[in-house]
Amino acid sequence: MYRAINIICENRSLFIKTVREKQANPTTTLIAMVDGINCETKIDLLTEFSKALQFPEYFGCNWDAFDECVNDLSWINKKKIIIVLLDAQLLLRNQENDYKIFLETLHDINESLIKKEVIIFHHVDLGQEDILEKRLEKIKCTHARVDIKDYFSRLS
């Protein structure tokens, strides 16, 4: 099962700025932002991912096509892909079955991509982390709560 890294930050602007500063080398890294505010339904989520990861035109906007595309990514000529799930507690709200399928699909990404490093951050504003953690616990998804400053200081 997918292990979520819930990065706690004072606000989303600071989170985005920090990720871009600490992790971004534009020649080798793609930062794909997916906004939970825009991902209320499965179709919303798949459409946002399609835009953020530049899925091919044949993408079918269903779970099988999503699984195929996120486990390929051969059209992205970068060695590192950072997927940022902004306001992750809002992803697929009230769609728990789809949320579980989504997380299970994410679990397989690094195992299938041999030549690319994929990092997935779950952004949560300070004060909202309990909402996300309760959702993850409900579907038995392991997770870790990390303050953004602590996370990036460990990488330095």
62-113 pLDDT, tens digit per residue, is 999 999 998 888 899 988 888 888 888 888 988 989 988 888 887 777 565 6
Lowest mean pLDDT among 48-62, 105-119, 140-154: 140-154
Instruction: Indicate which CATH number applies to the domain containing 29.
Output: 3.40.50.300
The 3-state DSSP class for residue 57 equals coil
63: tokens are: 């779970």
The pTM assigned to this predicted structure is 0.77
The 3-state DSSP class for residue 7 equals strand
pLDDT at 16 over 90: no
Overall number of domains in the chain: 1
Helix (H) or strand (E) segment spanning residue 155: helix 148-155
Residue 54's nearest CA partner among 85, 36, 33, 35 is 33
Domain that holds residue 146: 4-155
